[in-house]
Structure 1
Amino acid sequence: MKKYRLFALGAICSAAAIVAACGGGDSDDDVAQPVDPVDPPVVIPADQPREVRTTWFGISNFHYQAGDFGFILDGEVVNSGRAPTPAAVTKVLGALSKKGSVDAFLVGHEHGDHALQIPEYAKQTGKPIYAPRAVCEDVVAYGNPASQCTSLKGGETFEFSPYVTVRVVRWLHSLSCGVSGNGSAGVETFGFLITARTPEKVVSIYASDSGAGGQELFIPRVVNKGTASEENYPSPFDNLMTAFKAAGIPNIDLWQGGPESRVVNQARIIVPAFGVKYFAPHHLGTRNTLVDGQSVGFSLEYGLHFPYLESEVPLLTAYLKSVGTTAFNPDNYFDAWSLTANGFTTVDNAEVKAVYGLPATGPGPGKQGPNPRAGQLECAGD
C-alpha cells in the first residue's frame, strides 16, 4: 500500500485549508503526492548483547559476557591442592569484573583441574552453579546452600537472560591413545551449547571441556552400569544434535573443543555436521614441563608455560584448513575474543591481564618450555 504525505505550501496554510485559503486550483503542486513507504526506525533494546565476549584463562576456563550477563565455565585458577584457595578466587573475580560480570557458573566435569574452586566461587558470589552431581555435593559440603547448585542430567535448557540460552549436552570424558570407549567409562561430563540473540542474528558457541572422538561419539552413555541406579542416555552426538535442533540455529559458529589430545577425531565429525566456522583449542598448561631444568606448572602469574603449536597437531591443522574452519589458538592466559554476526575476532584484554602481570599480547612473563605431551596429541590411527 502506498503512503501519502502532504507537502506544506506556506507557513500560514494549515493542511485542512490548503485549497480554500491558499489559492487552490488545478496545480499539481497543491495535491497530495505518493511517496515510498517509510519504515519506522529499528529500536534495539539497551540490554541486548551486540557480541559474546569470551576470555580463556587456562585449562578449560572460559568467561563469557553477553550484554549484562556474564558467566564462567569451570574456572580452576590454582590446579593444585585438595581444597579451594579463596585468595586466588577473589583475584580472578576482581580481574574479570574489569570487563564484565560473573552471574552464574557452568561445570563440565568433576576433576580437580576443572572444579576444585567451585565451592569457593559459590561462597564468594552467591551465584547459581550448574554442575555434575558430584560437584554439587562438594558445593554443599563446603557450607553453601543446596539450592545454589543444580545437578545436571543433560538435556536441560537454562534461560540466563532474555537473550542468552544455555543447553546442556551430556558428553564424555577424553580417551588416551589405544583406548576405545564402551559408553560407561569416565566421570559424568557435559558440554554446553550457548546461544545469544544479537540485533543481527543468533550467535552460537559449543563448549566441550573434554571429549573423545570417532566411534565414541555415537555410543549411548550409561551411568552406574550394572547397578540398581543404572541410567541410560543417548549418544553424545545425538545429545548435541538434539540441543542444536532445539536452538533452531543453522550452524554452530564457534567450537571450543578439547581437551589436549585426539581432537582431530572429534573435528572430523562435529565440524561438518554442525557447520563450525571457528575453532578454539584449550586445556593447555595443566601438566608440568621443564624450563631450563626447572619444573614449571600451571600459574596464571607465570603465563602459559608452553605454547600451543599447530605442528604438534598436524592432522587437526590440515583438516581444519581443508574445510575452511579458522583456528584461534591462544598465546597466553586471559586472551579474549569477540563473537558477533560479522565473525570471531581477537580483542584487547590488557587491563585484565595486567592484574596478573601478563603482557598485553603474546606469552610471558615466564619463559616457555616444550609441551610435556608433545607427540601424544594425536595417535596412530587418528
Structure 2
Amino acid sequence: MSDEKLHKHYSDFENILKRAKKDFELKWKEDFKPNSKLSEFSILRTLGTGSFGRVVLVKRKSKEDELYAMKMMEKSHVVKTRQVQHTLSEIRIMDAVRFEFLVYLEYFFKDNVYLFLVMPFINGGEMFSHLREMKKFDETLAKFYASQVILAFEYLHFLGLVYRDLKPENILIDVDGYIKITDYGFCKKVDDQRTYTLCGTPEYLAPEIILSQGYNKSVDWWSLGILIYEMNAGFPPFYAREPMKIYEKIVSGRYQVPQHFSKALRDLIHNILQVDRSKRYGILKGGAKDVKGHEWFKSIDWEGILSRKVKPIYKPRVKGSDDSTNFEYYEEEPFRVSDKDEYSEEFASFNSDIVPIQRGPNSILRRSVAVTS
C-alpha cells in the first residue's frame, strides 16, 4: 500500500474507531439481562471442551437454519475458582463489542446449573487445527491473518480493552477465509491503567506479566509477535516442557529464527519481541502505525482487509452452513441438572456495574499445560 493510501486508511479508520467507541460505551452502560432460554435451542453436538465447561453446536428452534455456538459454564465451577466478576466482565465485553474480526454475543441466559453464552457459529474451525495440518503457513497467508488481528487489537485498545489471550486456538476461520477472534475470558477494561494479573498462555506471556511489573496493552503486541512467529514457523519462539523454563526464555528474550523467514519478517519480529517496552513496536509513539507501516506489511491493502474485499488464498473445507467437521469429535456427556437454583445470590443480577478484577488466582492454559498464580 502506498504512503498516501496508508495515510488515508489511518484517518478513515480513526473515524471508524471513534464511532465504535461511542457505540461501545452506550452498550456498556445499558442494563444487561438474559434475552433467551435453553428451551429455544436444539443441541446438536459438542464442538469443544475446556476448564470453563464446553461449547456445543445449537439450532434455534424457531429458525432451523440459524446455527450458533453455545458456551456452557457451570456456575459452581465459576464460584469455586473465584471467577464470578471475571466471568460477568467477559459476558459484558462480548455483548458490547462489534467488529468484523471479533466474535460477539447473540444471546445470554442461565438455568439452575449453567450460564449460557450463544455466539455465531464459525464453521471453518480453529486456526490451530489448520496450522497443525499445514505444518506452517506461508508468509502471504500469515500476513493476511496478522493484519486482521492488528485491526482487531486497534479496535479493542481504542475501547480501553486489553485482550491478553491471543493464540491459534482462540482464532476461528470463517467460511470465506477471514478470521474471528473468540474467547474473552482474560479480556479486561483497563483504559490507561495498569493491571498486574498473571493470566494468559505460557508460550504467549509477555515478560512484564511474568515479572509482575504491571502492564497494559503492551502484552497484546508481544503476543502478536509470538503469533506471527508461530504461524510462519509452526511452533512458538519460546518453548520448553516446563512452564518455568518457558518463562526463563521469555524474560531473556533470546530465540532462534528459522532460516526460511524473510529479512522483513525477521526484522518485524525483532521489533515486536522486545523485552524492553521502550523499544517494542505497537506501543511506541507511532502506536500501531509502526507495525502496519513495516516493510513486511507493505503489500497489505488495509482498507480491502477491513471491508473483506481481499480474496483469501486459503479457505477451510466447508460443505454447508451446518458442517461442523472442522471441529474435533468429542464424546457427548449428559448435562447436569438441579431442582435448585445454584448460587442464585452470586448470579442474581447482570445489570450492575462490573467490579474491577483484583490480582488473584487465574488459570493459564496452553493446550495440555495448566499453571496457576
User: In terms of Rg, which structure is larger?
Assistant: 1
TM over 0.5: no
TM-score (norm 2): 0.29
More strand by share: 1
